[in-house]
Amino acid sequence: MMTDETRTALAEQPDSVPTSALTGRDQCSVTEIAKRLSADGLTYLSLRNWTELLGTGPFARWRTLTESWDSLGPDIWMTDGGTYRRRNFATYAVEEESVIRKPHQAHRQSRRFNRLTGGMDRWFSPIEQSVGSHELILALLSGGRRIARRLTGHRARRWHAEVHQIRIQPNGCSPAFPTPEGLHRDGVVLVLMMLIARSNVRGGITLVVNSGSVEELQFDLSKPCEGLLLDDRKVLHEVSPVWALDPCLPAHRDILFLTFRPDRKLNHQLPEETRDG
C-alpha cells in the first residue's frame, strides 16, 4: 500500500518551469525519498520536489538542455522496424565527490529483462558534451547515487549510471511505442525518469506494478519536470502508446531516463542481476 507521503506527492502538480515562480517547501530529502521507495517501490516528484532535493541552480539553463532533444540520433534497434524513437546515450562513474563520464559504450541489457533487444550491444549516438555536463544532468546523477545508496545500504564506492535522452515521435495516425518490450524491469537498482516536454500528443501513460502485489498505478506525466523514481528490484513499468493529437502536425514526447547500479568493476560481490547492463 502507498504511504501518505506518496499520496500527497501524487496530488501535487507543478505550474510551470521557471523556478522563480515557486513557493513553499516539501519534505523531499534523500532520506524521505528512500523511505517512500522502500515502502512503495516508487515515488512521484514534482518540479517543487526536485528543487528542494537539488536546489534551483541546476534548472537555471533549462531551455539549453531541452533544446538538445531536437538533435537526437535515430534509435535503429526497434524490432518492429519503427523510426519513431530517437535516443542519445551516455554512461558515468558516480562517486561521493565526483561524477565522471565514461568512454562511449554500447547499451546492453540481459534478455532476462528485455526479451526483445536483450543480449545485444545497442549503440546509440553519444549525448553531446555540453548536455552531458549540464548542471541538471550532473545534479541528477549525484542525487540519484545518494538515493540508491541510502535505499540499498550498499557500501559500493562507485556507482554505474546510464543516461538516456529519448524522444518518441508518432507519425500521422500511427501510434508510437515508448516501451515495445511491455511491462518490464531494467535490471538495475534505481530508475529515474523525468518529463522534458510534450507537444501535440496523447497517451504515454506510465504504468507501474509492484511485483509483490496486484496494485497498479498510472501516471500521466504531462508537465515539464514531473518525474518518477522506481526501485527496479520491486516494481515493473511500461508506457502506453503515444498518438498525435493532430496527425497533420509534428508531435513528440521527450523523456530523460537514468538508471543506477553499483559499478561491477570496483564491486565484485554483487548480486548477478545488478551485473547486467
Convert the pLDDT of each residue in 154-189 to its tens digit. Answer: 878 899 999 999 999 999 999 999 988 888 889 999
Q: What pLDDT is recorded for position 184?
A: 87
Domain range list for the chain: 4-263
Structure confidence at residue 76 as a pLDDT band (50, 70, 90): confident
| Beta pairing, strands 159-168 & 85-94 | antiparallel
Q: Nearest 5°: CA angle at 25, between 60 and 190?
A: 70
Q: What is the rounded distance in angstroms from the CA atom of residue 75 to the CA atom of residue 166?
A: 9
Tell me yes or no: is domain 4-263 CATH 3.30.365.10.
Answer: no
Q: What is the rounded distance in angstroms from the CA atom of residue 79 to the CA atom of residue 220?
A: 26
45-68: pLDDT as tens digits: 999 999 999 999 999 999 999 999
Q: What is the C-alpha R_g of the chain?
A: 18
220-255: pLDDT as tens digits: 999 999 999 999 999 999 999 999 999 999 999 999
Neighbours of 188 (CB within 10 A): 26
Identity (one letter) of the amino acid at 101?
R
User: Buried (b) or exposed (e) across 199-233, using 16+ Cβ within 10 A?
Assistant: ebbbbbbbbbbbeeeeeebebebebbbbbbbbbbb
Q: How many CA atoms lie within 13 A of 92 on its CB side?
A: 27
Structure confidence at residue 117 as a pLDDT band (50, 70, 90): low
| Beta pairing, strands 190-199 & 235-239 | unpaired
